[in-house]
Structure 1
Amino acid sequence: MQSIGLTDAKIKNKGMKIRHYIGMILTLFVVFQSCKKDETQARLASDDAIKPATLTLDKTAVTLSKDNASDTVLHLTLVQPDFGFQAAVTNVLQIGLKGDNFKTVKEVVIPNGRTSLGFTGNELNGYLLSLGVPTGTVSDFDVRLKSSINTKIAAVFSALASLKASPYASTSYLYAIGAYEDWVEANAESLISPTSDGIYTGIINFPEGKLTFKLTPERNWSNSYGETEPGKLVYNGGQDIKAPRTGNLELQVNTNTNTISYKDHSWGIIGSATPKGWDADTDMKYDNANQVWKLTVSLTAGEIKFRKNHDWGTNFGGANGTLEAGGANITVASAGTYDIVVDFNANTYTLTKK
């Protein structure tokens, strides 16, 4: 009986030791994990561990003109930032008016992994005009890099670089390559920015089931704008952009804010000479490059008028090639196939029998 008691005591003693050792191991593990966590938080919170990107421009003054529009006029190099740990970094070039503290800013995303980038005269001219500076006059700009890894950690900025340049007046374009024209680059409609200020407009007819497209600075796929969500654009990324509905839509694209919006904008002919009579419009197609409306259509002898958005609120009549708001019906003397061209900027029209 005594030996059994000693054995029980030994077992009990060993059990206590084992529990003690397990407790020590668990304590050390918790302390180690806490230290790791505290170390990570300290490194994230420490400004000493973060090194902003270094930006270098190869020029401090640039001469811009239509003669060097296609030449590389400015080249930048950068040393990637260091956030104190490995992470994918997004670098954005920011251009602002000197001393304005980037209240008005043009942002250009640097492709991932790139440490150098060149800008053509046309690209740089468009960026500077988007800031609202005058043409033909030298203006001063501040340039820096904004680097970020996610929305939870504050972005860091490089030291400022200075740039002087005199932008020139120009017209720039975006091209909408899409399903409405069977994705043929050469047939893409153009959106126009008359002053290269980053705001482009154009009118496109979207047939049923052919609403998707992308926007490109040239009629090729070297660079393009896609869509991250309805109305929100991203450069060299995103999905196909999708128009909200069929028919003639006026698109406005703002590459300063990377947004796109739509509104109805159609013109058609209506009248006794048209295929649908006075009951409905026969829609015309907008020629963005020449800013005129066109239609080839079979007409009978009779009368026509031009009507906006299928409504009598805005309509034009006229005579002898001159349009007049709300004017008299236009006479079609004889039946035939006609090419119709209407210029609402000049208030003129032509009816050419084929």
Structure 2
Amino acid sequence: MKSINKLFILTMLLAVGFAACEKAPGLENYKNGTAVSLTSSAASIAPTAADSNKVILTLNWTSPAYATDSTTYKYILELDSSTKNFTKPNTVIQTGARTKSFTGKEINNMLLNYGFALGVPVDLDFRITSSYSNNNELYKSNIVKIRVTPYNDPSVLTTEKTAVSGTLNTSNDPSNKFTWTNAFTGYNGIVTYTLQYDSATKNFASLKEIAVGASTYLKQLKVGEMNDAALNEGVAGDATGKIEFRVKAVTAQGAVSYSNVVSVNITTYIPLLRFYLPGSYQVGSGYGSENWTPATAPELVRDLRPEALNKLYYIYIWLPANTEFKVTQGRSWDVNYGGTGGNLVQGALDNLKVTNAGYYRISIDRTSLKYDIREGRMGFVGGATGAGWTPPNVFPNYAMGLASTNLFVGVTNLTVDAWKMIDYNDWNSGDINVTNARSYGSAGGSGSTMEVNGGNFPAVATAGRYRAMWDGRNPDNIKYELSPATEMRVVGNGIQGVPDWNPGASPQMTYMGAGKWQITVTLVAGKDIKFLAGNDWGAFDYEDNSGGSIATGVARKIKWEGGDNFKTPAATGSYTIILDEHAQTVTIQ
């Protein structure tokens, strides 16, 4: 009897062991299922944008026949590009249902996320993994290969206007607005947009681009930008041409789509041209590290009178002896001018040149192709000045000093009357050419924009000595500054018996006329000084432009727009200092 019981127990243990090897816990009473068979409604599909919301593909599969309620069967649908062996699959998980349909948009977005090119057929692999709801009894189906072509889902572009025009004076005004719908509707990645344009009939063979950015559906162009678009595509100035626009959309994976094309008739104007003076003098004069470099050359001032606009340009500049130079339109050599005998020649082998070192006024006329090189100077003229309204009286007694390129500084006495500045010993004859004199005035107060051959400067409220500046360092806005010139002080820590850097307690210089100030003081060796036109900081001042020279009896260059202090001589002693605002120098002797 005991033997029978032992045999029964052993048999039961073996049965339980075999059952445990065949089923996972909890499914001891369920039989094995089978791999499903997957079928597709089509072997090849090529949807269009019109199919975005239509069902274009349906997959069906058989039952795995698990031993449980079929509504709990779990299915994982995987798809990936062929040959990738499902290393980067898209997956869809569903329970119970043995069918799955896809719209054109769903398939297309998957393809775009893979980075496939539009219009190029690609093969996709589909398969089903089935299981019980707790992932037991995993079976993989057969693989179904389907050829799919990603379609173009472009933006729809519209233009606010079909014809635009403008003028140089309205170049910053709004001109035309382009708007478009988003491309690749439903795609979840970043789409970057670019507005492209080309002249009509060229089919964007020589297109130009205007960057827009990501997830942006509007681009407002100014008058000048529309004008540039036409000029860039070969439309002549003061002419009308048709320009075509479209929007380029690019997904994060590199798929590219182009919108419809819209046309705009653009009536152009001649834009504001800029000219520069590259030459052999640049390195020595502080205009970059290489000579003959338009990118760092100084810019000529544009004569903004309507009749001279884009015609006359000029510059006041110091040039070393035997300097050679040319004039470029823009900061490249694409359009450049040389010449001889007053005649400009585009692309000429002959450079423009000066023999002697000095200050020059260089003028060009780009329409008549003429140039003029003469002494560069500026002076006071008018009823408020000692020269009166007679230009021949201006130079040299009422001249200003050329502080730097396109910058003059001068000191003179003004009465309560009108006055101007002038660069020649005669009035402009009324002709618009390179040789004529230029006088300058303004209806506004100090800091206002000047007009060439315009009205007079306002009369000062009180007669006295004044410092004036002709400032053309910004070629877009030549202006003047005017302030009283009642005093000039020597300040610093190098004046014996004077508190260090105390403007109010510092000694005043004596004005000698013709822009010159003078003083005799005891200077302490190896210290610093500067010159201040007032009794407190913030007043007009002069610093060193000589590179730290300590030489005596030699004129050192000065500058007022910021620099190092002047160094006192090597030996302590009594020195006479002459500050010459006309020559823009200081001499310690």
> CA contact under 8 A between 1:203 and 1:288: conserved in structure 2?
no
Query: Which residues of structure 1 form unaligned runs of 5+?
Result: 173-191, 195-200, 208-245, 250-262, 268-283, 298-302, 309-315, 319-323, 333-337
* Mapped contact 1:285–1:294 kept (Cα < 8 A): no
Deviates more, 1:284-293 or 1:155-164: 284-293
Which one-letter code corresponds to 2:299 in the other structure? D
Using the size of structure 2 for normalisation, the TM-score is 0.33
- Quote the residue 1:128 is aligned against: 230
1:194-213 to structure 2, matched below 5 A, reads: none
Q: Any idea what SS the aligned residue of 1:90 has?
A: strand
- Give the drift of 1:89: 1.3
Higher Cα radius of gyration: 2
SS at match of 1:92: strand
Task: Give me the whole-angstrom Cα distance separating, in 2, the residues matched to 1:16 and 1:8.
Answer: 13
Query: Aligned residue for 1:16?
Result: 22
1:248 aligns with 2:288: yes
Cα deviation for residue 129 of structure 1 reads 0.8
The correspondence for 2:267, drawn from 132, 143, 166, is 166
1:152 matched to 2:260: no
Q: CA RMSD in A?
A: 4.9
Aligned to 1:94, what secondary structure does the other structure show?
strand
Distance 1:11 1:349, change over 3 A: farther
Return 5+ residue gaps in structure 2 as ranges: 1-5, 37-72, 81-88, 92-101, 117-147, 303-312, 326-337, 341-348, 365-369, 378-400, 402-582, 584-589
> What amino acid is the match of 2:323?
F
Structure 2: distance between partners of 1:206 and 1:17: 90
**Aligned residue number for residue 77 of structure 2:** 32
CA apart distance, 1:304: 2.7
DSSP-derived class of the 2:321 partner: strand
Amino acid at match of 2:177: H
Change (3 A) 1:295 1:5: farther
Q: Which has the higher relative contact order, 1 or 2, with Cα contacts under 8 A spaced 6 or more apart?
A: 1
Give, in angstroms, the shift of residue 202 of structure 1: 8.4
Counterpart of 2:322 in structure 1 is 305
CA shift for structure 1 position 152:
3.2
The C-alpha deviation readout for 1:35-93, integer Å capped at 9, x for no partner, is 75388765426667652111111111112333532322212222111254212111111
**In 2: Cα distance, 1:104 partner to 1:6 partner:** 87
Tell me which amino acid in the other structure corresponds to 1:63. Answer: S
The C-alpha deviation readout for 1:218-258, integer Å capped at 9, x for no partner, is xxxxxxxxxxxxxxxxxxxxxxxxxxxx9626xxxxxxxxx
1:110 aligns with 2:212: yes
Correspondence 1:138 to 2:150: no
Shift of 1:130: 0.9
Deviations 1:6-42 (A, max 9, x none): 3133223222222999x98999999534375388765
Aligned partners of 1:138 and 1:127: how far apart in 2? Answer: 12
Q: Which has the higher helix share?
A: 1
Partner of 1:265: 292
TM-score, normalisation: structure 1: 0.51
2:514 corresponding residue in structure 1: none
Post-superposition shift, 1:111?
4.0
CA change 1:29–1:133 in 2 (3 A) is farther
CA distance in 2, matches of 1:168, 1:329: 36
User: Which residue of 2 is the match for residue 76 of structure 1?
Assistant: 178
CA contact (8 A) 1:57 1:74 kept: yes
Counterpart of 2:375? 350
**Is 1:99 aligned with 2:111?**
no
Q: Provide the secondary structure at the position in 2 that maps to 1:13.
A: helix
Q: Which residue of 2 aligns with 1:240?
A: none
Equivalent pairs counted in the alignment come to 237
Paired with 1:90 and 1:6, the residues of 2 have a C-alpha distance of 70
Deviation of 1:117 after TM superposition, in Å, equals 2.9
Aligned partner (choices 182, 186, 190) of residue 88 of structure 1: 190
Q: Which secondary structure state, in structure 2, belongs to the residue aligned with residue 34 of structure 1? A: strand
| Distance of 1:327 and 1:104 partners within structure 2 | 36
1:288: how far off?
A: 4.7
Q: How many angstroms apart in 2 are the aligned matches of 1:53 and 1:47?
A: 19
Is 2:198–2:204's contact at 8 Å kept on the other side of the alignment? Answer: yes
| Structure 1 residue matching 2:180: 3-state secondary structure | strand
Higher strand share: 1
Name the SS of the counterpart of 1:32 in structure 2: strand
Q: Structure 2 CA distance, aligned partners of 1:66 and 1:78?
A: 29
CA deviations 1:131-173 (Å, max 9, x no partner) are: 12222222122211111113532x111111121122121125x
Which residue matches 2:504?
A: none
Q: Indicate yes or no: 2:221 matched with 1:119.
A: yes
